[in-house]
Amino acid sequence: MFSCMCIVCSNDQAACGCCLMQKQMERMELVFNVTTKEMSQQLMNSKMTLNNIKNNRSAFSVALNNEKTLTCFGPMTEDRRVPYKYIFLNLGDSYNAQTGIFTAPSSGVYSLAATVYSLSPLDLPQATCAQLQVNGVAVAPLIEKNGLDSEDSSTVVIARHLKAGDQVSVSLLKGCNICDDTSHYNTFTGFLLYAAETA
């Protein structure tokens, strides 16, 4: 940045012009510095927001199995958590295939869905019965009892506020069974709609 001696303008018109130009440049430099600082802050805030969104991404979709032949789970003599083994998607790694449990990584409103399907010989009673559970408590039933055919199915879709650490699963009720193969009739899906600390 250049410098000039600011003297009384009436004594030297050239010096006066130089002085005015220097003051104008100082003002421009000040505005530039303030604007640059504000833009840097906005960029930092945007990066933090994007990182927060990435860290809170959560979605999973699983099926009972991926067997070539129809394979059933159940019936059992007691209620049993369904172990969905085939994973389509597990964004955020919050679904555990060993336990069949989805653990909410952050508080928010989630979309949760489950479909159950069963098959049995025509001469045997048929019942598809399971329930969607949060922390071991039933929140939505999946029940169809139709003695007129050998197939039963049921689907439930809900929106539910979950707190970080809440566990979601599907429980097969005693006496019931579900069957699956590469058609993936039995699915369990959930994803974060939006983050929220309170319901």
CATH of the domain at 172: 2.60.120.40
Confidence of residue 13 (pLDDT cuts 50, 70, 90): low
Do both 46 and 97 map to the same domain? no
| Distance in angstroms (rounded) separating the CA atoms of residues 139 and 137 | 6
> Would the pLDDT of 14 be above 70?
no
Q: Is residue 3 part of a domain?
A: no
CA-wise closest residue to 191 among 102, 135, 114, 111: 111
Predicted pLDDT of residue 6? 56
Do both 78 and 173 map to the same domain? yes
Pairing outcome for strands 128-134 and 167-172: antiparallel
Predicted pLDDT of residue 12? 64
Q: What is the pLDDT of residues 155-192, one digit of tens each?
A: 999 999 999 999 999 999 998 889 999 999 999 999 99
Do both 81 and 25 map to the same domain? no
Q: Is residue 113 part of a domain?
A: yes
Write out the residue range of the structural domain in which residue 35 sits. Answer: 10-55
Do both 95 and 67 map to the same domain? yes
Question: Which own/partner contact pairs does 100-104 have at CB distance under 8 Å and 24+ positions apart?
Answer: 100/169, 100/170, 100/188, 101/167, 101/168, 101/169, 102/60, 102/167, 102/168, 102/169, 102/188, 102/190, 103/165, 103/166, 103/167, 103/168, 104/58, 104/162, 104/163, 104/164, 104/165, 104/166, 104/167, 104/168
Do both 155 and 169 map to the same domain? yes
Confidence of residue 8 (pLDDT cuts 50, 70, 90): low
* CB distance 181 to 187 below 8 Å: no
> Would the pLDDT of 97 be above 90?
yes
Answer positive or negative: Cα dihedral of 61, 130, 179, 117.
Answer: negative
Task: Give the residue with greater pLDDT, 2 vs 22.
Answer: 22
> Does the predicted TM-score (pTM) go above 0.85?
no
pLDDT averaged over every residue in the chain: 86
Predicted pLDDT of residue 126? 60
* CB distance 150 to 123 below 8 Å: no
Q: Look-up: residue for tokens 């055919």?
A: 149
Do both 39 and 111 map to the same domain? no
Q: Look-up: residue for tokens 């989805």?
A: 102
Do both 117 and 158 map to the same domain? yes
Q: Is residue 47 part of a domain?
A: yes
